[in-house]
Amino acid sequence: MKVLVTGGSGFIGSHIVDTLVEQGYEVVVVDNLSTTSGKNLNPRARFYEMSICDVRLADLFEQEKPEVVNHQAAQVIVIKSLEDPIHDAEQNILGSLNLILNSIRFGVKKIIYASTGGAVYGDPEYLPVDEEHPVNPISQYGVSKHTIEHYLHVYSIQCEIDYVVLRYSNVYGPRQKITEGSGVVPVFTRQILQGVQPTIFGSGDKTRDYVYVADVVHANLIAMQANVRGIYNIGTGIETSDKEMFDTLAKILDYQGTPHYAQARKGEIHRSCLNNSKALRDLGWEPHISLREGLSQTVAYYKAHLGIV
């Protein structure tokens, strides 16, 4: 089977590509390398340096004729979506629509779409949030990611193309960017390793549901293979506060300092965790990597990345 992975040089996408290649799939990667150097590209995958917004995407589909599209490419930073909503919409809505239309035109059987389980729901009315929870995003990023879920539903009816939407909680692990704005885990880790006092935005009680990247990869593979259509939360169902995350990383890294507290940022929900019972029921998926185990593996990766023994 031939699979096209968008964002296949990125954090989650590159892990998906590696696993697909290992399992014998023929893999094609589309990535514009705007947020990555390409060092995570699997040499056994065929690579096209291209934006999903590019009109030449049709030529790629005509040449490669993938059976499945695994769509991981996106503008994923909430703050950037507030600062430049047009760019966010171009990438996440128009780029994704370009991908869907070409998938339909060239006979793709199934699309796996990486959505977001925090930003689309907004501030939760109850926890853990299930797929029936009202969708009420409070950021442009949440709006743009949710919009494509509607397009997939409409085209599945009009054109009979299968799809699975995976609403991720906060994914962490090796290869996640270690720069500012890339997530609590890599930012706290980098700051501690480089001797910089970590900053917590808000009082420290903001919570997220952290799921390890290998568990997310497993969910994608099951979604590709399963005879299902629809939306699934991919998370642990466990809330972890910013302060708890800092304390855990400080313990792993033997850091004795305290965090600096700054004003909370706009567009961020206060609490989040996802009910994954539907994924367990329909896909047989549940997370297997504990937070402590996943963080230990992630810290080891960042130490090697920064050249710290």
Q: What does the mean pLDDT of the chain come to?
A: 95
Residue 180's pLDDT is: 57
- Structural domains present in the chain: 2-171+210-234 (3.40.50.720), 174-208+238-280+290-306 (3.90.25.10)
**Which candidate, 212, 239, 228, places its Cα nearest to that of 279?**
228
Structure tokens at 30: 């589309």
pLDDT in tens, 270-284: 999 999 999 999 999
- Give the residue among 96, 40, 36 at the shortest CA–CA distance from 69: 96
**Would you state the pLDDT for residue 228?**
95
CA pair distance 185, 173, nearest whole angstrom = 8
141 given a catalytic annotation: yes
- CB neighbour list of residue 234: distance below 8 Å, 6 or more residues apart: 117, 166, 167, 168, 169, 211, 215, 216, 219, 274, 276, 279, 285
Q: pTM for this structure?
A: 0.95
> Which listed residue (113, 141, 210, 212) is catalytic?
141
Q: Is residue 118 classed as helix, strand or coil in its secondary structure?
A: coil
Average pLDDT for 129-134: 97
Tokens of 239: 């809330």
State how beta strands 199-201 and 260-262 pair: parallel
Quote the pLDDT of residue 165: 98
For the segment 147-206, what is each residue's pLDDT rounded down to a tens digit? 999 999 999 999 989 999 999 999 999 999 876 556 899 999 999 999 999 999 999 999
- pLDDT (tens digit per residue) in 211-265: 999 999 999 999 999 999 999 999 999 999 999 999 999 999 999 999 999 999 8
Whole-number Å distance between alpha carbons of 274 and 127:
7
What percent of the chain has pLDDT above 90? 88
Asked which of 21-25, 100-104, 178-182, 238-242 is least confident by mean pLDDT, the reply is: 178-182
309 pLDDT above the threshold of 60: no
Of 83-92, 98-107, 238-247, 259-268, minimum mean pLDDT range: 259-268
Contacts of 173 (CB under 8 A, 6+ apart): 11, 15, 212, 213, 214, 294, 297, 298, 301
Residue 35: pLDDT band with limits 50, 70, 90? confident
